[in-house]
Amino acid sequence: LDEDEPQLKEFALHKLNAVVNDFWAEISESVDKIEVLYEDESFRSRQFAALVASKVFYHLGAFEESLNYALGAGDLFNVNDGMLAYSLKVCMSLMQNKQFRNVLRVLVKIYINLEKPDFINVCQCLIFLDDPQAVSDILEKLVREDNLLMAYQICFDLYESSDVNDDVRRAAVESLGFILFRTPEQCPSVVSLLSGSYNPHVRYGAAMALGICCSGTGNKEAINLLEPMTNDPVNYVRQGALISSALIMIQQTEITCPKVSQFRQLYSKVINDKHDDVMAKFGAILAQGILDAGGHNVTISLQSRTGHTHMPSVVGVLVFTQFWFWFPLSHFLSLAFTPEPNFQLLENPARVMPAQLKVLSMPEGTRYQPFKPLSIGGIITLRDTSEEEEQLVEPV
């Protein structure tokens, strides 16, 4: 940094940036030199100097100076998804202070200018800024661009995040499953953010939405979302994840869905574990029953083979979800079961027994003769043709 050549100073800054997270204490002794480089408007890499200075002050705990230099770094300051999510969460909790409204407006600009604009978080910020017209404009734009599913998701997300009643939040997210059942491959991407919500009722609703929408499909993305939820610290979220996994994997084999055996072992483990929670046990018992429903000859589908909505199935699943309030309502799931014979050939075709035709014949001149022709089949009765003895009728 003490060299006169600008190229050497740039080289030194790049080397410092590579090790600043480990050697920030040593670099802090020369941070004033880095600040001088940033203040020199003729220095070509002054934004990079601001970035290094920001990291040093961050490790020193001087967050105000760190933020000032981070803003001076321009595009070099990498704002990742985690930082944006954290900033949004903090701002939402500090909305009583009007000065944070400006921070929300900055977040809106950042989300809009992403390579793939995050319209969901943009609309959440605009709602907190009390700007419903801007939200309406975004929704109309999405509808015009044939992004109807994204518009649906934003509407439901805003509703579930704005309502203070947990029952309403849970029901709003569950409803996504009924809306998207014709396009189950899109459901995982729609509810992926909701599955990581801080609210356990929203996480439960996301799990049930996956099960309702992707029932009987063996969708791998949906199963990957549900898998970590089976270890959720909240018991009823685990319950929902277990039930939904069975709804998705009903009538699936290890070939079509390799994780079937893994989940079967999980159900058995939860059911037999004496120390596990009762709600999780209930979910595992239901899941085990759903997976083996109808002797593997029924499935769950909200639409008929012709593509029309199958109302008995819709009503059955809808009432089934209300077991949250009254357990006996879980029996209504039987309305959603539709016959789907599952015939499977043996893996080794050589072991399949060929059809055999058995033909009976009676030799001529024998003492006992059938009453009716053998070709008729059924129970064969014989009569004694000997004239010297009594006639006997013997069933065979």
| pLDDT tens per residue across span 232-245 | 888 888 999 999 99
Angle between helices 311-320 and 166-179 (to 10 degrees): 160
The pairing of strands 368-370 and 381-384 is antiparallel
Radius of gyration of the chain (CA): 35
Provide the β-strand partners of residue 309: 303
pTM check: above 0.85: no
How far apart CA 90 and CA 244 sit, in angstroms, is 32
Distances (CA, A) of 27 to 3, 30, 174: 17, 6, 53
Residue type, 81: D
Q: What is the pLDDT of residue 92?
A: 53
Phi first, then psi, for residue 369 (nearest 5°) are -125, 145
Angle between helices 235-249 and 278-291 (to 10 degrees): 0
Q: What is the pLDDT of residue 128?
A: 66
| pLDDT tens per residue across span 349-364 | 555 555 555 666 777 7
Of the candidates 206, 197, 112, 210, which has an alpha carbon nearest to the alpha carbon of residue 161?
197
Q: What is the pLDDT of residue 97?
A: 54
| pLDDT tens per residue across span 260-318 | 888 888 988 988 888 888 888 999 999 989 888 887 778 888 888 777 888 888 899 99
Q: What is the pLDDT of residue 50?
A: 83
Which pair of structure tokens corresponds to residue 56?
């040093």
Secondary element (H or E) of residue 339: strand 337-339
> Quick one: pLDDT band at residue 373, thresholds 50, 70, 90?
confident
Phi first, then psi, for residue 394 (nearest 5°) are -120, 120
| pLDDT tens per residue across span 98-138 | 566 677 777 777 777 777 777 777 776 776 666 767 777 77
- List the Cα angle 201/127/140 in 5-degree steps: 100
Q: What is the pLDDT of residue 190?
A: 76
Domain boundaries, the chain: 6-76, 147-339, 365-396
> Which ranges of 230-326 would DSSP assign to H, the alpha helix?
235-249, 260-272, 278-291, 311-320
The pairing of strands 393-395 and 381-384 is antiparallel
Which pair of structure tokens corresponds to residue 160?
């579930």
Query: By the 8 A CB rule, do 47 and 76 touch?
Result: yes
What CATH class does 147-339 carry?
mainly alpha
Could you give the count of Cα atoms lying within 13 Å of 88 in the half-sphere of its Cβ?
23
Which pair of structure tokens corresponds to residue 132?
């419903």
- At which residue do the structure tokens 């040093």 appear? 56
Instruction: Say if residue 343's pLDDT is above 70.
Output: no
Of the candidates 333, 252, 323, which has an alpha carbon nearest to the alpha carbon of residue 292?
252
Distances (CA, A) of 13 to 110, 164, 174, 220, 393: 27, 50, 52, 46, 111
Write out the DSSP string of 124-186: HHHHHTT-HHHHHHHHHHHHHTT-HHHHHHHHHHHHHHH-S-HHHHHHHHHHHHHHSTT-GGG
Instruction: Say if residue 93's pLDDT is above 60.
Output: no
> Quick one: pLDDT band at residue 371, thresholds 50, 70, 90?
confident
Of the candidates 333, 221, 252, which has an alpha carbon nearest to the alpha carbon of residue 285?
333
> Quick one: pLDDT band at residue 142, thresholds 50, 70, 90?
confident
> Which ranges of the chain would DSSP assign to H, the alpha helix?
6-19, 24-27, 31-39, 46-60, 63-72, 81-93, 100-112, 119-128, 132-144, 148-162, 166-179, 187-191, 200-213, 220-229, 235-249, 260-272, 278-291, 311-320
Of the candidates 51, 55, 64, 54, which has an alpha carbon nearest to the alpha carbon of residue 20?
55
Return mean pLDDT, the chain: 77
